[in-house]
Amino acid sequence: MTTDPHSFEVRLKSAQAAADALRQAIATVIVGQTPVVDQVLWGLIAGGHILLEGAPGLGKTLLVRTLADALSLRFSRIQFTPDLMPSDIIGTNILVTDTAGRTGGRFELHRGPVFAQVVLADEINRATPKTQSALLEAMQEHSVTIAGTRHPLEEPFFVLATENPIEMEGTYPLPEAQLDRFLLKVLVPAPDEDTLTSIVARTTGQAMTRPSPVLEQPAVLALCALCREIVVAEPVARYAARLVGASDPTNPTAPELVKRAVRYGAGVRGAQSLVLASKALALLAGRAQVGFADIQAVALPVLRHRLIRSFEGEADGVTTDRIAEALVNQTPTRPEAVEQALRGT
């Protein structure tokens, strides 16, 4: 299907204006953290789920709440705890009783908090893996199955999960299959002195106001649809595939660090996520097509949670960010360079 270039340009400018309005609404509450906010917007526009990791008190939950306030979408929060059960997330069928307390002989669906459009899974790594996996179907299929009946979730559907670093007490590592469902893993850094001073001034005075909604459901869906229309030329798509392929330690083109420190590399979803996040980045920059630099710019948040380190890599303290950086720095954009490297020329 062909697209009118003028119409596409108008929609692209409209999308930029909408994204800027969303940024400004978030900035009324969140101080600094511009890279984090930008990466959250990549995930939103690409229609993917986001995992936010950082120490307690860095504003992860506040960022998600602020984003939800700026969107006219149904919002729910799930506070993950060790005693949380899967039915507490997806819901269950309950036996209906009449006003006299007698059972009516029928079951009625009690919908869980996952039946929303923006779902905050707060401190997701404080629940057991069994409970964490209750989100798998919802995140992948945008539906849940209760008592054998499939219930679709209203679009758009986003899960924004927060987690504390794994080394902190009382946390459980997320299953690899669930990690792979997150489009991006965004690291939330501690603020610098100037930013921390602004945070203290803003949060210890008058009560903070919540931002007014700036985007409604049709506008969000239009953003996601437009993201899919951003063009990815074959050489760029092949570069994304080559980058993911090089994360496999058995691949001859893998960097030496990957061969030594990685047990399992990124898979198909990793390549898909690279392209989708790159499309979102290009859209926010007002460009109609993805370049090699876009793939490289999104590589760390896309790949860091998909690289499974080997025992040697863990023992040597090699981080997945260091591995992803090696992939970006040592994977050539041109296939001819790959052939030359394999020949040793």
For the stretch 108-157, pLDDT in tens is 778 889 999 999 998 888 888 888 888 888 888 899 888 788 889 999 99
**Which of 74-83, 125-134, 239-248 has the largest mean confidence?**
239-248
pTM recorded for the entire structure: 0.87
Domain boundaries for CATH 1.10.8.80 within the chain: 230-345
Give the pLDDT of residue 166.
63
Helix ranges restricted to H, 59-206: 60-69, 87-90, 129-132, 136-141, 176-179, 193-203
Q: Is the pLDDT of residue 340 over 70?
A: no
CATH 3.40.50.300 residue spans of the chain: 1-82+116-141+153-229
Helices (H), ranges, 54-210: 60-69, 87-90, 129-132, 136-141, 176-179, 193-203
Q: Is the pLDDT of residue 51 over 90?
A: yes
Per-residue confidence (pLDDT) for residue 345, from 0 to 100: 47
The residue among 72, 82, 43 whose CA lies nearest residue 172 is 82
Q: In the structure, what pLDDT confidence band is assigned to residue 1 with cuts at 50, 70 and 90?
A: very low
Contacts of 64 by beta carbon, 8 Å cutoff, 6+ apart:
52, 118, 120, 160, 162
> How is domain 230-345 classified at the architecture level of CATH?
Orthogonal Bundle (1.10)
The architecture that CATH gives domain 1-82+116-141+153-229 is 3-Layer(aba) Sandwich (3.40)
Q: Report the chain's terminal Cα–Cα distance, integer Å.
A: 44
Of the CA atoms within 13 Å of residue 86, those in its CB half-sphere come to 14
